[in-house]
Every structure is written in structure tokens, then in C-alpha cells.
Chain A
Amino acid sequence: GQSLEQPSEVTAVEGAIVQINCTYQTSGFYGLSWYQQHDGGAPTFLSYNALDGLEETGRFSSFLSRSDSYGYLLLQELQMKDSASYFCAVKGAAGNKLTFGGGTRVLVKP
């Protein structure tokens, strides 16, 4: 089976930096994805890491350590529009399904 752990909620002010950690236990591992979901909206893809290291995409960066079964999403220069839920998801060896974590709700305050 697969399980992912991430904090349930994070609060920060505009302009700050937030790091959302994700630890996983999987029977197979292809890579770690991150999705953003605003209230009432669809999950939207942010990033994917298959290899160890840091991937940077604008204000968002994602990191993976396969040996530690750990990854994180870094949100920089927080904006009010970044208030949303963020999910890590594992693509396992069996099939193409994604197994999602419980999500981290990020609240950005002025």
C-alpha cells in the first residue's frame, strides 16, 4: 500500500516563504507530484520530481529525496491568491494512478 503524510494547515503572511513537507511510504515509486486546489476548484498540477534534487518553477520549488522518502514544496513571495490546499501525490510502480496525501491548507494573511 501507499501512504503520504503532510501537515494539515499552514498560515503565513503575504511575502513570506512557506515549506510544505511530505513523507511517503510506498510499495513502488516513480515520482512525487504537487497539486494546488482552490476551494470549489479542480486540482491543478504544479510540479513533478522523479529524481533527487530541487525543481524550480517561478515562485514555487519542489524538492525530492528518494533515500529519505521525503519531499517538500516551497512557496516563495506568498500572495493572497496562493491561499489554497496543496497536495503531494505519488505515482507508484503499479499503473498510472496517483495516490494523494491529505492536503495542506495554506492561508495567506495580509
Chain B
Amino acid sequence: DTGVSQDPRHKITKRGQNVTFRCDPISEHNRLYWYRQTLGQGPEFLTYFQNEAQLEKSRLLSDRFSAERPKGSFSTLEIQRTEQGDSAMYLCASSYGQGGYNEQFFGPGTRLTVL
């Protein structure tokens, strides 16, 4: 299967700990997005990469959050000093294109539970 993959699928951590999630986009997709989704809500945009450049960050992305896409392929999202309010599904999506609209393909998500 060559879809978007995310690891881990589930993460339980204690408040104050750091966590890191990984996303592997569809091969040759130059754009990669991170979203956060809480129960009963739509996904909320966090950040976006074109190749290795992080081009946009949401105000939702506090300084405890950092994302990287070092070689323009996989990406990591790290949350430092986790809080209970960080509990959510973290979704990664990828797309290919230079302009206009390009369909975003979503991964299965990483469900984070902060105790």
C-alpha cells in the first residue's frame, strides 16, 4: 500500500512528557500537512510543508509544538511538555502540485492520550 502512513497509531503519555509522531507521505508528494482533530470536530490545520520548507504555521501551534521535514520526505511532529488539552487525533496529509487545488490524502492518524 502506498498511502500516507503514520506512526505510532496510538500514544498514551503522562502530562509533562515529550512525544514525537512520524508521517510518511505518498512518494513524490511535495506537500505535507499536519492537522489535529478532536472528537466530534473537523480537522484543524497545524502546519504545512512544501518539500523541506515549513511555509505556514497555525496560531494553534504553540512553542511546545515543532515540526520538521528534513529531506522533503517524511515529517515529524514533536510535542514537548504535553498537557491534557493536547489529547487528540493528529492527522497527516500529503498532496502533489505547485499551485491551484491539489487533493489532500490523509493518513490514519496518531491518537494521543495525555493522562
Contacts and interface: CB of A to CB of B under 8 A. Distances in A.
8 contacts: A30-B100, A42-B106, A50-B101, A94-B56, A95-B48, A96-B56, A97-B45, A101-B42
Interface string B96-115: 00001111111111000000
Contact of B56 (A33, A87, A95): A95
Given A31-B101, A101-B42, 20 more contacts: A30-B101, A35-B106, A42-B4, A42-B106, A42-B108, A44-B106, A87-B42, A89-B42, A91-B101, A94-B56, A95-B55, A96-B33, A96-B50, A96-B56, A97-B48, A97-B56, A98-B33, A100-B42, A100-B43, A100-B44
B91 interface: yes
A48 B101 CA distance: 9
A71 interface: no
A43 B101 contact: no
Interface string A77-110: 0000000000101010011111111110000000
B40 interface: yes
Contacts of A31: 101
Interface of A: 4, 30-31, 33, 35, 41-45, 48, 50, 87, 89, 91, 94-103
Interface residues of B, number: 26
Contacts of B104: 45, 98
Nearest to A41: B108
Nearest to A89: B42
Contacts of B22: none
Nearest to A6: B42
B109 A42 contact: yes
B62 interface: no
Nearest to A101: B42
